[in-house]
Structure 1
Amino acid sequence: MIHPRIAEDVGRRVGKMLRIGEDWGMKLLPQGPAEWLIKHLPGRLGFTVCSRFYVRDQAEGWIIAILLTGKQMRTLPIGFVQKRILDGILYAQDELGVERVGLGAYTAPMTQSGIAVVEDPRIKIPITHGDALSAASGVEAVKQLIAAKNIAIKNATIAIAGSYGIVGRPMSIMLSELRPQKMIFTGPRPTMLNKFKREMGQYYSGEIFVSNDNSVIKEADIVILTTTSVGSIVSPEILKKDAIVIDMAQPHNMGKNVCEARPDALRVDGGYMTIPGINLGFKMGPPKETTFACLTETIMSVILGDKENHVGQVDVGFAKQVYGMAKSVGFELAPLTNFSQPIVIKTEEVYYDRKAALAVAV
Structure 2
Amino acid sequence: MVVADERAMVGLLGSGDALLRQLEESLDADIHVRGNRITLRGGAGEVALAERALRELLTLQESGSVLDADAVRRTVSMLTDAATTPAPTAAESPAAVLGLNIVSRRGRVIRPKTLNQKRYVDAIDEHTIVFGIGPAGTGKTYLAMAKAVQSLQAKQVNRIILTRPAVEAGERLGFLPGTLSDKIDPYLRPLYDALHDMLDPESIPRLMASGTIEVAPLAYMRGRTLNDAFIILDEAQNTTPEQMKMFLTRLGFGSKIVVTGDVTQVDLPGGQRSGLQVVRDILADVEDVAFPQLTSSDVVRHRLVGRIVEAYEQWDADHDEAAPDRQDRGPLGGRRGDRSAGADRSSGAGR
Length-normalised TM-score, structure 1:
0.29
More helix by share: 2
More strand by share: 1
* Structure number with larger C-alpha Rg: 2
